[in-house]
Amino acid sequence: MTDRIRTAADVGPELDGERLDQAAAHLFPDFSRSRLQTWIRRGELLAGGRQCRPRDKVHSGDHLTVDALLEDEVSWRPEAVALDILYEDEAIVVLNKPAGLVVHPAAGHADGTLVNALIGHFPAMAQLPRGGIVHRLDMETSGVMVAAKSLSAHHHLVAQLQERTVKRQYCAVCIGAMTGGGTVDEPIGRHPRQRKKMAVLSHGGKSAVTHYRISRRFANHTRITVSLETGRTHQIRVHMAHRRYPLIGDPVYGGRPRIPKGASDSLIAALRGFPRQALHAEALGLVHPLSGEAMQFECPLPEDMQALLAVLEREDEVPGSAAGA
């Protein structure tokens, strides 16, 4: 591939003070971090018309421009990592991502990722933007994902995500007994002081909309079904913490396990021992890039969440709290 790419974007307030390569990765998500860093070093990605280093800081209002050759890129090593494939054809692959698997190579996770596994199974995906990835799940979030196996499918799926027509449904278990479902329509951006965290921002965040309804209410916890209009980083975790119902097991937005007064030993062990945020992508709906057919994929709850819910149902249940209460 020897096409020339010309594009530009402005740095928003949520990226103020970020490294140039990190900001570029947010603003030009179709290209890998390594490719963007190469363009920066070559002077093909400029900030305010100036050549900078990848580590140089950018600020709100800076104008980034790209004028570069889009050469073939094989920057990741294929690996024989097992995949739980739910569906595949010549255009897409749908899979069940386990908790603990990083989606994309990054600092600290150069290998052993979902991308490494995908290009191990489907070598041609190494030539696609982000190895065919069109959306992500956090490392410790499990569930259904789709990836593209061709460039046209990649463009088609990205367009669906941008148009908010992809249906994404999650199961989450929150701390606190909710009285009803609702919608969180609050912008999300980088935390102003803790740069590894996201936060609801009054100014400068990106639009983020999360819908949730009660699936089952317990005495001190709530199982909810969540659907997304947008797909911001950590969106469900941030929005539910903002509503003061953080997810069980979330060390970033939920803090230490909250043990209800009078909790049994089994409930204490379940809450303290749950190893991750209690979040699972259970359903994904999309239009097939080739056939135009509406498709729906579902993924059952993993064993750890089933076990957690079993303890809550035995020992923390509100009498008469049926699903949908």
Q: Indicate the average pLDDT of the chain.
A: 90
Q: Among residues 16, 21, 62, 138, which one is catalytic?
A: 138
Q: Among residues of the chain, what percentage have pLDDT more than 90?
A: 72
In this prediction, residue 74 carries a pLDDT of 42
In this prediction, residue 148 carries a pLDDT of 97
Q: What is the band of 130 on the pLDDT scale with cuts at 50, 70, 90?
A: confident
Please confirm, yes or no, whether 84 is among the known catalytic residues.
no
Domain 3-70 has CATH 3.10.290.10: yes
Please indicate whether residue 107 or residue 275 has the higher confidence score (pLDDT). Answer: 275
Q: What is the band of 106 on the pLDDT scale with cuts at 50, 70, 90?
A: low
As a whole number, mean pLDDT of residues 247-269 equals 91
CATH topology of domain 84-162: Pseudouridine synthase (3.30.2350)
In this prediction, residue 3 carries a pLDDT of 63
pLDDT at residue 213 above 50?
A: yes
CATH 3.10.290.10 in the chain, residue ranges = 3-70
As a whole number, mean pLDDT of residues 201-215 equals 93
In this prediction, residue 170 carries a pLDDT of 98
Residue 127 and residue 208: Cα distance in Å, rounded?
A: 31
Q: What is the band of 128 on the pLDDT scale with cuts at 50, 70, 90?
A: confident
Is the pTM for the entire model greater than 0.85?
no
Q: Which CATH superfamily is domain 167-315 in?
A: Pseudouridine synthase (3.30.2350.10)
pLDDT at residue 55 above 70?
A: yes
**Lowest-pLDDT range, 94-108, 241-255, 278-292?**
94-108
Q: What is the band of 178 on the pLDDT scale with cuts at 50, 70, 90?
A: very high
**Residues in the chain, total:** 325
Closest CA to 220 of 257, 171, 252, 275: 257
CATH 3.30.2350.10 in the chain, residue ranges = 84-162, 167-315
By CB atoms closer than 10 A (0-12, 13-18, 19+), residue 209 is middle
In this prediction, residue 81 carries a pLDDT of 87
Q: Among residues of the chain, what percentage have pLDDT more than 70?
A: 93
In this prediction, residue 325 carries a pLDDT of 42
Strands 142-148 and 279-287: parallel
pLDDT at residue 4 above 80?
A: no
In this prediction, residue 2 carries a pLDDT of 46
Please indicate whether residue 93 or residue 76 has the higher confidence score (pLDDT). Answer: 93
As a whole number, mean pLDDT of residues 21-40 equals 87
As a whole number, mean pLDDT of residues 195-222 equals 92
